[in-house]
Amino acid sequence: MAISSEQAPSTETEVARDETAADKRTGAAPPDPKRWMALLVLLVAAFMDMLDGTIANVAAPAIQQGIGGGYSIIQWVLVGYQLSFALMLILGGRLGDIYGRKRMFLLGVVGFTLASLGAGLAQEPWQLVASRMIQGAFAGIMVPQILAIIHVTFSAKERAGAFAMYGGVAGVAAAVGMGAGGPLAEWDLFGLGWRLIFLINIPVGILGLIYAPRVLRESKAPHALKLDVRGVVLATAGLLLLIFPLLQGRELGWPLWGFVSMAASVPVLAAFILWQKKKTLLDGSPLVELALFRIRSFSSGLGVNLAFYIGIGMFNIGWTVYMQVGLGWSPMRSGLTSLPFCIGAFLTSSAAMVVLVPKFGRKVLQSGAVVTVVGALAFLWAAGEYGSGISSWQLVVPMLLIGLGFGLIAAPLPQIVISEVPQKDAGSASGIVHTNAQLGFAVGGALVSVVFFAGLVGNTGTAIDDQSAELRKELVATAGLTPGEADTTVAAYRTCAVDRVEEKDPAVVPESCAVPALQNQQAAPVLAGYAKDATGTSFAGSLQTTLWVFGGVVVLAFLLMLAIPRQMRLEAPEDEEEAGKAPEAAPAS
């Protein structure tokens, strides 16, 4: 609750006395003197996890070339991590509440570090996939403890600063991952190539294991809780049925069983909710405390979180495919082009948490949504205006604006969602927040298949049709073809280009691209120039469609923000019985 200047304690002694009195009222432990060192360890672990996700995505082509195997193997290197991570988050958070958040954090760091070693030393594709899935599972144990420990370790006044640092680390990790993924893979440092992407986690993990036991204070739910095994099975099955088809739908051609699986997730998740209600009545130890959803900041914040990350999932995949496949840019150039986004996110994340949200409340999130939409419109204009000839410099402003908006929304959201959660449920709530975001990414990725790739074939055909007249003339004038041969070549070129964009693996060359009409040595250079332009134009068209939908989803998130209390009380209730009874809006100071 906000305090006016007349009510505020006037001296440091009074502040200390008030905090001590609050500790006695709530039974809370006094502030941990090592809490800022503990935060540093937590941020290093968060950095390691966030870095690993982005750096692997950027370096995926180099990994495929180095380890061998088909395109599906690389998909599983990325999807396997996301899937196991998403499935473990809720369980990992609750394990922290039951057995101790410090203990589970250390277990997660150990498993994540060993799995990184396994990935770095993998000799076969299946070994790399297995290591990545294990890595994701232990990340699902480690990550929920970070938010939970911050939530229970810091006072309300300090928590905003701690979460601001967490948001800043997210921006830095994304920047380093996107910027360093290409160079690490291409420079082949120490002869390790892509393996260094995973092996770099080893020294970081070891340092964390050395210092974490010394500075982290153990915390768990104040009342003994039991592990809800049936709830774990139902939640895992429901999420697996829902998320796996979303992650793999496009690569598998959206088979019927995928839609059946997603439909089957509905009754399974409904059964999970019913069981949680019954489990609460039986022993008060559900996997997910449903009373949390009666807290307005929690339920409304999750709605915003889901919608926003659906949009971000679409944008991330859309612009990556546009730059690396459509424009043919290297992973290094694509990563460096994304740096303005990361810089923007870093600049606004700290300010949003420390200064803006406590003063302006949900208006900060709404301002972030507006800035994000403006950035999307700027990106849309640039892609249409410059087409295949666009440069990295022409994307600086759009990427910066989207990054600024991202920081204003993504940094405060986790704290807003769990701000009024009782400390006994901090781990579970943190797991729900991260699962919610992962589900958003998965849905966003699935929508890319519908929005981006579904229109790509038509865009490619249209782009080539627009070139046809000029291309025929140049083939006759430059390559020495007869008008009839030029017509045959243009038709073959169109068929090849359309078939190529229909392939799931960009490296696959369709049979239609091997016809004799396309093998003419005089015509090949002419066709290559036109093909580059057509590809850039068609991918730009699909990206523009994606950006329109992305902007629409962010507008939806803006509307959902209206359900968030105008001024958030960024602290847990003093009495756990207040959970679910938090005021809708705290009075402004």
| Domain edges within the chain | 29-224
Report helix, strand and coil shares of the chain as percent, to nearest 5. Answer: 80, 0, 20
Q: What is the pLDDT of residue 579?
A: 41
- Among residues 557, 322, 320, 550, the alpha carbon closest in space to that of 444 is found at 550
The answer to whether 140 and 93 are in contact (CB under 8 A) is no
- Among residues 555, 544, 485, 474, the alpha carbon closest in space to that of 519 is found at 485
DSSP state, residue 420: T
Handedness of CA 90, 92, 93, 95 (dihedral sign): positive
Q: What is the pLDDT of residue 395?
A: 93
Q: What angle do CA 549, 554, 557 make, to 5 degrees?
A: 130
Fold of 29-224: Growth Hormone; Chain: A; (1.20.1250)
Q: What is the pLDDT of residue 217?
A: 87
Identity of the amino acid at 462: T
Between CA 90 and CA 338 the distance in angstroms is 31
Identity of the amino acid at 562: L
Q: What is the pLDDT of residue 14?
A: 42
Between CA 205 and CA 41 the distance in angstroms is 10
DSSP state, residue 515: S
Handedness of CA 388, 392, 394, 395 (dihedral sign): positive
Q: What is the pLDDT of residue 303?
A: 93
Between CA 378 and CA 373 the distance in angstroms is 9
Between CA 257 and CA 249 the distance in angstroms is 10
The answer to whether 432 and 235 are in contact (CB under 8 A) is no
Task: Tally the residues of the chain.
Answer: 589
Alpha helix (H) residue ranges in 8-70? 12-26, 35-58, 60-67
Q: What is the pLDDT of residue 387?
A: 80
Between CA 300 and CA 561 the distance in angstroms is 7
Q: What is the pLDDT of residue 180?
A: 65
DSSP state, residue 588: P
* Residue carrying structure tokens 């039951």: 98
Query: What parts of the chain have a pLDDT lower than 50?
Result: 1-28, 570-589
Buried b (16+ CB within 10 A) or exposed e, 390-404: bebebbbebbbbbbb
Q: What is the pLDDT of residue 7?
A: 38
Tokens of 510: 């369709």
DSSP state, residue 250: T
